[in-house]
Every structure is written in structure tokens, then in C-alpha cells.
């Protein structure tokens, strides 16, 4: 079973994902895995170079800032970037999920009759990765809590954080979710994870 985990900035979805890993579950972090794929996948590298030019990789290092500047100024370029990266991530998820299905009998007994594979993704719906999921968990928190967490984590300007929050369609994600977890800081993360597991098993 594939379970998507998403939520707005500062909701604490990454903390939930980290706890699930500590509990022994497979969690695919789309952000870090996409960065790996952009560097390691030969086909993706070829497509990225064709789109952005030779400057996109310097001495084998992906130039994140260069690409960010390019797509910020051109939404069509962003769409083309996503059209390269999202399908590659999708295929990588399926490959790793199929690999996880080969878990040994002891692991299957520990987790139950079905292997649970989690996908952590801030843009789960935008990237259409929800289509791979049997269920989607949306992690929420009050706006002021999310704001405080993000400022403490990123040392960002409060107005910039608010702008990022407004740009996210959290309400729509919540509407489409199968499971909603309120991570307001009052409930320990391990208990929230147990709530998630109870809902999906």
C-alpha cells in the first residue's frame, strides 16, 4: 500500500515522515530523491542540458540557483522542468515500492499482511503523485504555528514566509485528503504516527 504524506509549509510533515522511518517504515522523500535523480539519471541530465544549456551542470554539480532564476522568470520553463523531473520521480517511486514489496517474512509479520510505503511530498497533488497512492495524509497546523516553525527553521523574513503560505492551496489539499492529522504541537509525534497507522491499516 502506498500512502502519500503532504501538507503546507511548517505543518511538520517532514517530522512525521522522520518518525515513520524510525519506526521502520519506508518513506520516499521526493525532494531529496528528485535532487539525486537530476544528478544521477543520464536521461534526465540530457533533457536538463537540452532545456537549460551546459550551464545547468558545472563539474558534474547541478546548479540549483541558476535553474531557480530561470524558472522564476518563465512559468513555461517551469512547466517544462516539471515535465522532466516529475515522471522520473514517479518511475523511481514505483521501482522502490516494488523493491519494498520483496521484504522478508519477518518484516511483513511486523507490519501486518501488507507492506506500507510512504511518499513525503509537498506538491503531491500538483505533481499528480496522489494517483499512485492508496490513501493520502494531509498534515495541518494552525497558521501561526506554521509561521513560527518556518521562521525558526529557515530564519526567513516573516512577510516572505506568509507569501509562501498564501501561494499554497492547503484548503484544497485538505478537501481531497483521506486522513487529516492536526500537528499543532500538543500531541507527541509518535502518537500522531500511530493515529495515521490506525487509519490506514
**Residue 74 confidence (pLDDT) above 80:** yes
Distance CA 27, CA 18 (A): 8
pLDDT, position 163 = 84
Instruction: Give backbone dihedrals phi and psi of 137, rounded to 5 degrees, phi first.
Output: -105, 125
pLDDT in tens, 76-124: 999 999 999 999 999 999 999 988 766 544 444 344 457 899 999 999 9
Question: In the predicted model, what is the mean pLDDT of residues 167-174?
Answer: 86
pLDDT, position 107 = 45
How do 57-58 and 61-62 pair as beta strands? antiparallel
Question: In the predicted model, what is the mean pLDDT of residues 65-69?
Answer: 93
pLDDT, position 68 = 92
pLDDT band at 48 (very low <50, low <70, confident <90, very high): very high
**Contact of 11 with 141, CB cutoff 8 Å:** yes
pLDDT in tens, 1-40: 999 999 999 999 999 999 999 999 999 999 999 999 999 9
Amino acid at each position: 500500500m502506498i500512502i502519500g504524506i503532504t501538507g503546507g509549509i511548517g505543518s511538520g510533515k517532514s517530522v512525521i515522515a522522520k518518525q515513520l522511518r524510525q519506526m521502520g517504515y519506508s518513506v520516499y522523500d521526493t525532494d531529496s530523491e528528485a535532487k539525486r535523480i537530476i544528478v544521477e539519471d543520464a536521461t534526465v541530465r540530457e533533457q536538463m542540458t537540452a532545456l537549460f544549456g551546459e550551464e545547468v551542470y558545472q563539474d558534474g554539480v547541478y546548479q540549483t540557483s541558476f535553474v531557480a532564476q530561470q524558472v522564476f522568470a518563465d512559468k513555461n520553463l517551469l512547466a517544462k522542468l516539471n515535465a522532466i523531473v516529475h515522471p522520473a520521480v514517479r518511475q523511481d517511486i514505483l521501482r522502490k515500492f516494488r523493491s519494498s514489496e520483496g521484504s522478508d517474512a519477518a518484516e511483513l509479520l511486523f507490519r501486518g499482511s501488507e507492506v506500507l510505503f510512504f511518499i513525503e511530498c509537498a506538491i503531491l497533488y500538483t505533481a499528480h503523485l496522489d494517483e499512485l497512492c492508496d490513501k493520502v495524509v494531509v498534515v495541518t497546523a494552525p497558521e501561526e504555528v506554521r509561521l513560527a516553525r518556518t521562521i525558526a527553521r529557515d530564519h526567513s523574513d516573516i512577510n516572505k514566509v506568509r507569501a509562501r503560505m498564501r501561494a499554497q492551496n492547503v484548503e484544497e489539499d485538505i478537501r481531497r485528503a483521506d486522513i487529516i492529522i492536526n500537528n499543532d504541537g500538543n500531541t507527541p509525534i509518535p502518537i500522531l504516527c500511530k493515529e495515521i497507522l490506525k487509519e490506514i491499516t
